[in-house]
């Protein structure tokens, strides 16, 4: 529930306070922006063990998993942003066409104002602080709403952030969907949402009332295509690793595999070997009983063959399971899995794999294992997805100049690097003309000479 103080919601008062900070103008200076990023960097390095403990409490994750998944990507983003901030924030010169001479044109990145970031629970530091890095770099004030399903991390963020960044410009509001709903009733200048497509639709509808721009970082079923010319052992090892990270609870985790029939037996044999090893090395548990039961349910009624998947509801530990040849119409192949269950479907050839992918909503990520550049180009040309990663998985997330985001059902907009900076900036068009030259042929009525000239230079 939203707390109420003196008849005003805390949420409303927080947004008003952050708007006053923005309007006072101090978030515009690059020095202030750098101070915030350096504060976030200090928070992540000085408090790494507190963060690891919170993630251990929320998800059972170990400290190295938290460093790799939640801390290192954000510190890397901060370092990259600090190095590039001056150039990203500078006016971008634009050429004027002949008919517009003389004059000067530029694009001026302008802070939007007060930004709302709503995060998901699976990487609860990454999915709140990484958008905050871009939003602060772009000169905005930020309200963060972490997920209630990672309560220890949410409480830690609420405690630590005001100590490391400007508390008049960054606020953490903790709580569940009801708190999110009351936040969305306020007017923001940008809403950045990470979560399910179901809630994404609710967020977009709420944004419509004030015409607030929104970025939606959603999920979906990210396929892996294994071609007959792939290095099968490396493919199996990398897929098994990527499916095990955070117990498969990752938005760009491989959701299912399409493997060419000719190499199916050899690939499945390697996959079963590597997935067992990867599962043993991954301590993360399923986030809640509801999600445990959902995954448990997906493991029946699919008509395929299950290997692995040992699980215990009391501890919410769930070993990875491989399901070969499930029914494509079963819930397992219709819903986003978001857990350590990996369906493998054999297809006669690459064209059938492409048809399978294209017949479904555009995924957040598409993975391909092949040794042929021609196959890479073919699959790249015939499909669409938020990202396309060849011969590995997940690492596209860590390339700072690649946009991270979905397309169609997997999301709207993107962030990371300059893409994030631009997402939280209004790219303002500025044209500046001199007054010294003001020829009368530029004004109606246009004589024959002016008409000829204007037709030549304006069209
Ligand atoms: P979710 O949609 O249930 O919740 C996300 C956030 O929305 C939470 O903070 C929650 O409190 C809030 N929320 C819930 N109900 C709401 C409502 N009715 N109105 C307003 N806000 C509401 O998602 P989740 O379970 O936290 O995360 C899992 C989903 O997120 C998966 O679909 C996954 O693929 C996706 N995801 C995407 C990315 C990405 O970067 N694209 C990253 C992680 C997770």
pLDDT digits (tens, 9 = 90+) for 14-73: 999 999 999 999 999 999 999 999 999 999 999 999 999 999 999 999 999 999 999 999
| Distance in Å, CA 198 to ligand 1 centroid | 8
Which pLDDT belongs to residue 98?
A: 86
CA distance 283 to 69: 14
Residue 251 is among the residues annotated as catalytic for this protein: yes
State mean pLDDT over 209-231: 98
Tokens standing for 87? Answer: 């150039």
| Distance in Å, CA 409 to ligand 1 centroid | 14
pLDDT digits (tens, 9 = 90+) for 171-198: 999 999 999 999 999 999 999 999 999 9
Residue 402 CA neighbour count, 13 Å, CB half:
14
Whether 180 lines ligand 1, by a CB cut-off of 6 Å, is yes
Q: 217, 260, 282, 336: which one is catalytic?
A: 217
Asked whether residue 86 carries a pLDDT value surpassing 60, the answer given is yes
Which pLDDT belongs to residue 1?
A: 41
Q: Where are the domains of the chain?
A: 4-218+408-428, 223-400
- At 225, give phi and psi (nearest 5°): -105, 125
Which pLDDT belongs to residue 58?
A: 98
CA distance 187 to 171: 15
Whether 415 lines ligand 1, by a CB cut-off of 6 Å, is no
Whether 89 lines ligand 1, by a CB cut-off of 6 Å, is no
Find out if CATH 3.40.50.1370 is the number for domain 4-218+408-428.
Answer: no
CA distance 191 to 32: 22
Asked whether residue 6 carries a pLDDT value surpassing 80, the answer given is no
Closest CA to 346 of 256, 424, 247, 220: 256
**Which atom of ligand 1 sits closest to the CA of residue 364?**
41
Is residue 353 within 8 Å of 213, Cβ to Cβ? no
Confidence of residue 451 (pLDDT cuts 50, 70, 90): very high
- At 413, give phi and psi (nearest 5°): 85, 180
Whether 127 lines ligand 1, by a CB cut-off of 6 Å, is yes
| Distance in Å, CA 121 to ligand 1 centroid | 7
Asked whether residue 439 carries a pLDDT value surpassing 70, the answer given is yes
Q: 251, 260, 282, 336: which one is catalytic?
A: 251
Which pLDDT belongs to residue 268?
A: 98
Confidence of residue 458 (pLDDT cuts 50, 70, 90): confident
Pocket test for ligand 1, best of 199, 214, 423 (most atoms within 8 A of CB): 199
pLDDT digits (tens, 9 = 90+) for 264-314: 999 999 999 999 999 999 999 999 999 999 999 999 999 999 999 999 999
**CATH number of 223-400, picked from 3.40.309.10, 3.50.4.10, 3.40.50.2300, 3.30.420.40:** 3.40.309.10
For the CA atoms of 314, 70, 180, 58, the dihedral, rounded to the nearest 10 degrees, stands at 20
Q: Is the peptide bond before 102 cis (omega within 30 degrees of 0)?
A: yes
Whether 194 lines ligand 1, by a CB cut-off of 6 Å, is yes
Whether 133 lines ligand 1, by a CB cut-off of 6 Å, is no
Whether 282 lines ligand 1, by a CB cut-off of 6 Å, is no
Which pLDDT belongs to residue 457?
A: 86
Closest CA to 138 of 216, 212, 28, 21: 28
Which pLDDT belongs to residue 400?
A: 92
Protein residue closest via CA to atom 4 of ligand 1: 195
Asked whether residue 2 carries a pLDDT value surpassing 70, the answer given is no
State mean pLDDT over 417-431: 98
Record the pTM.
Answer: 0.96
Residue 389 is among the residues annotated as catalytic for this protein: no
Whether 192 lines ligand 1, by a CB cut-off of 6 Å, is no
Confidence of residue 10 (pLDDT cuts 50, 70, 90): confident
**Which atom of ligand 1 sits closest to the CA of residue 183?**
20
Confidence of residue 134 (pLDDT cuts 50, 70, 90): very high
Pocket test for ligand 1, best of 145, 195, 291, 412 (most atoms within 8 A of CB): 195
Per-chain mean pLDDT for the chain: 96
CA distance 232 to 268: 9
Whether 181 lines ligand 1, by a CB cut-off of 6 Å, is yes
């Amino acid at each position: 529930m939203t707390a109420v103080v003196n008849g005003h919601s805390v949420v409303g008062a927080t947004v008003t306070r952050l708007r006053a900070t923005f309007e006072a103008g101090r978030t515009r200076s690059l020095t202030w922006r750098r101070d915030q990023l350096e504060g976030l960097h200090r928070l992540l390095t000085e408090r790494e063990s507190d963060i690891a403990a919170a993630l251990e409490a929320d998800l059972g994750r170990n400290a190295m998993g938290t460093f790799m998944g939640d801390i290192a990507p954000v510190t890397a983003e901060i370092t990259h942003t600090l190095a590039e901030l001056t150039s990203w924030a500078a006016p971008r010169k634009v050429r004027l066409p002949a008919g517009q001479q003389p004059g000067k044109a530029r694009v001026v990145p302008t802070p939007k104002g007060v930004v709302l970031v709503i995060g998901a629970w699976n990487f609860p530091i990454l999915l709140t602080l990484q958008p905050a890095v871009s939003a602060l770099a772009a000169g905005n004030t930020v309200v963060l709403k972490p997920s209630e399903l990672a309560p220890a991390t949410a409480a830690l963020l609420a405690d630590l952030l005001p100590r490391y960044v400007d508390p008049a410009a960054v606020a953490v509001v903790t709580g569940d969907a009801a708190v999110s709903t009351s936040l969305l009733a306020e007017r923001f200048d940008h809403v950045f949402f990470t979560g399910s497509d179901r809630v994404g639709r609710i967020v977009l509808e709420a944004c419509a009332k004030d015409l607030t721009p929104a970025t939606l970082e959603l999920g979906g079923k990210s396929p892996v295509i294994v071609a007959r010319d792939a290095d099968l052992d490396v493919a199996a090892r990398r897929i098994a690793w990527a499916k095990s990270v955070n117990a498969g609870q990752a938005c760009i985790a491989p959701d299912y595999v399409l493997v060419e029939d000719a190499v199916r037996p050899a690939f499945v044999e390697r996959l079963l070997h590597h997935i067992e090893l990867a599962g043993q090395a991954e301590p993360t548990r399923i986030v809640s009983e509801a999600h445990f039961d959902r995954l448990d349910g997906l493991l029946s009624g699919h008509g395929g063959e299950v290997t692995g998947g040992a699980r215990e509801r009391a501890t919410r530990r769930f070993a990875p399971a491989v399901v070969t040849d499930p029914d494509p119409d079963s819930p397992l192949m219709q819903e986003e899995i978001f857990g350590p269950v990996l369906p493998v479907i054999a297809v006669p050839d690459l064209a059938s794999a492409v048809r399978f992918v294209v017949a479904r909503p555009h995924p957040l990520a598409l993975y391909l294992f092949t040794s042929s550049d021609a196959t890479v180009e073919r699959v790249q040309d015939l499909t669409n997805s938020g990202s396309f990663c060849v011969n590995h998985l997940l690492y596209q997330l860590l390339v700072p100049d690649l946009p991270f985001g979905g397309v169609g059902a997997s999301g709207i907009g993107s962030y990371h690097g300059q893409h994030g900076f631009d997402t939280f900036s209004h790219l303002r068009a500025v044209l500046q003309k001199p007054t010294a030259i003001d020829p009368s042929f530029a004004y109606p009525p246009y004589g024959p000479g002016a008409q000829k000239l204007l037709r030549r230079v304006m069209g």
